[in-house]
Structure 1
Amino acid sequence: MTERIQVSGVSKDYPGRGKGEPVRVLRDIDISVHAGEVYGLIGRSGAGKSTLLRLINGLETPTEGRVLVDGVDVHALPPAELRTLRHSIGMVFQQFNLWNSRTVFSNIATPLKLAGWKDDDISRRVAELLDFVGLDGKAFARPRQLSGGQKQRVGIARAIAAKPSVLLADEATSALDPQTTTEIVDLLRSVNQEFGITIVVVTHEMDVMSQLADRVSILSDGRVVESGDIHQILARPQHPVTANLVGSYTRTFLSDKDRDELSSQFAGRRISVAMDGVIAEGPLLSSLARAHSVDFSIIQGGVARVKNLPYGQLSLALHGEDAAIDRFLAELSTRTTVTTW
């Protein structure tokens, strides 16, 4: 599988205040993004997501490590070659970054003019893009006349105008309402599928990531704490930070405080079960419970779907003889991820 972007051993420092020590915002980052996929970077505010994105397009320089785009070391390029490379990397911003004094047509056409396109080719390309993003009839409108969702559609059209191989989306839906967010996520998916553009998307919204990304990396305190297929990450998070993010999204995460409070309300042995695929929607729990003469009550949890694949997390209180529960857990553990608490 072709690697479009490779981030190897990257750390980034910013100067400290006054004579203070430098502040390290990224630590030993290793990420590979396959050509043609949508790759997500997710984490709380201040995790280092946007800084990592700016390293990919050369707006920031790593303190340590290398960033390769199509095998080219971004930060080893002289300025003229770096400007050329940036023509192959589009960028979508949270606050749209449109020129308010220019029309929609002019906003989209500007990167094409900078790249040296002929006027007739620019006109055809802008018309194609306006149709693609659903803004026919808005060519001569000004950004102030557009809704937030329409402004972001212009931003996406401008970002892909010069036919880049990579699109970087930095919190592209954070300023939008839920319905418009879904529409923009669908549009970004279409950009990926119809043009084969590799997308790296930064967000703190797990619901956006679940709809859009193929693979993700979870950042916390400047480090990648977990990476994997989006379905795997949602169904079976391994790191506490990931589990917290997923649980906040699915409302299945139980903090230590939650567990302490629930322990007094639910008798029996308490477990949390993560499951995916047909297991999440099948009768596994009930059939195993019957087979081993174990009863259970549901404390919290549920089943959801990502890209038409089910995943689920349930917290249960088990009731029965200890030996029967042990046998039940032994068999359940071969099919799911079980945590006792």
Structure 2
Amino acid sequence: MDVTVRPALDGARQQQGDAGFAGFVRTGATLEMKAFTGVSGDSGGYAVPREIDAEIGRVLTGLSPIRGIAHVVTVGSAGYRKLVTSGGTPSGWAAETEARPTTATPVFREIVPPSGELYANPSVSQAMLDDAAFDVEEWLASEIATEFARAEGSAFVSGSGINRPKGFLAQPSSTDGDARRAFGTLQYLATGSASGLGNGAADRLVELVQMLKAPYRQGACFVANAATLALIRKLKDGNGAFLWQPGLAADQASLLLGYPVVEAEDMPDVGADAMALAFGNFKRGYLIAERHETAILRDPYSNKPFVSFYATKRVGGCVADSNAIKLLKIAAS
């Protein structure tokens, strides 16, 4: 039988995209709407039936950049140790035929980075996973990774060392120089003012830089939060020129006294007794030891009809070389 293929009528033409919603707008036809949990819009209903961007927006939080400037090692177990020598290997001079007495040996110190396990265990209903207009699992994994980065960054700066890394600001501090200070104690310089940077702030910054020995200054940087950097940015030298010179090229970092500046929101604001500014070689000075990357376990069985996403990450950290980091303390002395 001869069958003639005729084009479909205009009214029967297949709609592309969000056809159901378009039909509701045009004809008033019944539209089946589903929410992520079937209750309120902010629980998922906003995503149906709207066409949304493939990338979900979020309120940005400050992520600490300490991981990017510290020394990071991947370990196979929780019992990581690192040996550090102090004092070097002494040497001596002798004539051609003179005896060579035995020289002293280096002093070894053992570094054990305190560690802890970051975890998150959010749950999502199966209906949300089925009906959402975006990849909920991928989005949730990204959210967990961002939160982990924020939490560990805060610990690298001020962590107590109890079930978490020990931040460099949690180390004991002293005004003693490198030769007299106990191992593991950071040296600080007082601003001369009990509540601010003081009148001689520009001179204090120069002193802070020179407190760090020359070998450490290769690769050193300043670390402070945005509020502290705003105060430093206003400082001028005796000729009225700003100490913090902007970069000439778009991809060139602005330099403070010739060294790059790293903005870390976990650093404290300028205030009484606050260690508001750090300067040092963090590759030499701070050690991060992580056992593995973030692991996420998908569990659809324990709490039906919800799917749990159990994420864990084990990470530790501590000061490895206390001579490599110097602090500026808001104090009279």
> Under TM normalisation by the shorter chain, which class is it?
under 0.3
More helix as a share of residues? 1
More strand as a share of residues? 1
TM-score where L is the length of structure 2: 0.21
Higher relative contact order structure (alpha carbons within 8 Å, sequence separation ≥ 6): 2
Compare CA radii of gyration and give the structure with the larger one. Answer: 2
